Structure 1
Amino acid sequence: MSVIDLSKLKFPENNFRLFLDTVCETHELDFAAYAGVNPVAQSVHGVVNYPDEWQARYVKKNFQHKDPTLLVASRSIAPVDWQRLRDETSFKTVFHAAHDFGIAEQGVTIPVRGPYGEVGLFSVTRNCSDREWNLLKPKIIGGLQNAAVHLHDTIMQSNAMSRELMRPSLSAREIEILQWIAAGKSQQDVADILSISSRTVEVHLRSSRSKLCALTTPQAVGRAVGLGLIYPN
């Protein structure tokens, strides 16, 4: 599953990291993060104000697949306080590594569910005692929930994310076959080039037509070109 850093995308609405910084300053928090799953492309898109070194470590270690602050919250409709996760091995693994970058294990993740079937996860953290956190959280949770909904809606309504949601998730093999078809090769030619059977080529073409909502292979090729999935020859 790929990870898309929204702060690196160039589009007018991109002030997401500034928004996170403002939330932290307003509520006296250390860090904030947003992560969402694109239900079409099955990619994780997100923006954080964590140190760049921790972001790189997090992705390199594939923590997005095991981080319980995301996995548990993605199945919840209510905010998930990280205190309840501390006994989980995966939590200890992630936050033992995070500690080296000044990131504490005190925090909360707020899930937001949207109209496309997507789930956005807004997390904040603060380095403080349990007592201090338990006093602070009730005072700020309402504001954090409003911030979570605002950020999620803004991201999902952005032109960049709308394009991603409308982009069919073709496999690498499906794209490869469509590219050869676009180059004028026959189904048997493609089978010979890729050392697979003609029947396998047809299976991939059928799947491509379905994903692209195309009735014919030429129509599928045209739509794939229009979406930038393959290139015209």
Structure 2
Amino acid sequence: MITQLFDHRVVAKDESELDYRLRRAFERCFESLNGCHYAYFVMHKSLQVKPRIISNYPEPWLEAYKAADFHLIDPVINHGMKCIAPFSWREALESTEPGQGNDVFTLSEKYQISKGFTFNLHDSNGLFAALSICNTEHRVDFEQVMMNRTAEIQMTLIRFHNNLTASFTPSELFPESGDTSLSDKEMGILKWVVMGKAYSEVAAIHAISVRTVKFHMSNVVNKLQVSNAKQAVYKAVSLGIV
């Protein structure tokens, strides 16, 4: 019998009100995953801010993971950042250079978190999200079950993520980021610049002055934490922001 792990009445240690609300919303959305250990991970690809994690993994492991910023070396997150299709953690480890991130799995094994499957997405707001489901019970058919349910779980992940981004601004999800999300005007101008349009052409398209175009691009450069417009274009494209 599968143990019921989704208890909406329990507030985890040091869990903020927003984290609690998000966890409840997530578990309502993913009721079909009852009995599974999961971790929903979302981060801004272009901002140096800590990710937000919704999970029912053991609290000691979550605390250690966040405190040590393990997401920076986690093979699962690093692999997910580079691909679109769902994948097993075995695939992530196989694609990782020897010695890079192995410590994360060595430590996680103490909490029965070493085998699993991850679904991921990259949205138009520059966010990367990953839903990892852990094979805590060591089922031999786990990967096959995940593959059979890929469409269902991936679509549920998309719906939840869409609701999340529609309900909360980046500054609410990542309070330490401040006002660093690109505005609609900045995104519009950046997209034309990425397409190779000169500032004069972008100005004509938006019916604004070249000086105003330069002003918005200067803001884009600052928000993407780069040195010039050329680097901003490269970073925006490489991160999938445009």
Could you tell me the TM-score, scaled by structure 2's length?
Answer: 0.57
Gapped regions of structure 1 (runs ≥ 5) = 170-209, 214-233
Cα-Cα RMSD: 3.5
Partner secondary structure for residue 131 of structure 1 = coil
Partner secondary structure for residue 85 of structure 2 = coil
CA spacing shift, 1:20–1:107, aligned 2, 3 Å: farther
Structure 2 residue corresponding to 1:36, chosen from 31, 36, 42? 42
- Which runs of 4 or more aligned residues in structure 1 lie more than 6 Å from their structure 2 counterparts after TM superposition? none
User: Which whole-Å deviations, capped at 9, do the CAs of 1:36-75 have from their partners, x for residues lacking one?
Assistant: 2224643222211111111111122221110010011011
Is 2:71 the counterpart of 1:80?
A: no
The match for 1:112 is 121
Q: Is the 8 A contact 1:20 1:32 kept in 2?
A: no
CA spacing shift, 1:134–1:36, aligned 2, 3 Å: closer
Distance in 2 of aligned mates of 1:83 and 1:120: 19
Partner secondary structure for residue 77 of structure 1 = coil
Structure 2 residue corresponding to 1:137, chosen from 137, 143, 146? 146
Q: How far is the alpha carbon of 1:167 from its aligned partner?
A: 3.5
Q: Is the 8 A contact 2:46 2:126 kept in 1?
A: no
User: Which whole-Å deviations, capped at 9, do the CAs of 1:67-104 have from their partners, x for residues lacking one?
Assistant: 0100110111111211213444345321221122232x
Q: Which amino acid aligns with 2:118?
A: T
Partner secondary structure for residue 84 of structure 1 = helix
Distance in 1 of aligned mates of 2:106 and 2:74: 12
Distance in 2 of aligned mates of 1:63 and 1:51: 15
CA spacing shift, 1:20–1:124, aligned 2, 3 Å: farther
CA spacing shift, 1:138–1:29, aligned 2, 3 Å: farther
Partner secondary structure for residue 40 of structure 2 = strand
Could you tell me the TM-score, scaled by structure 1's length?
Answer: 0.58
Q: Give percent identity, aligned residues only.
A: 17
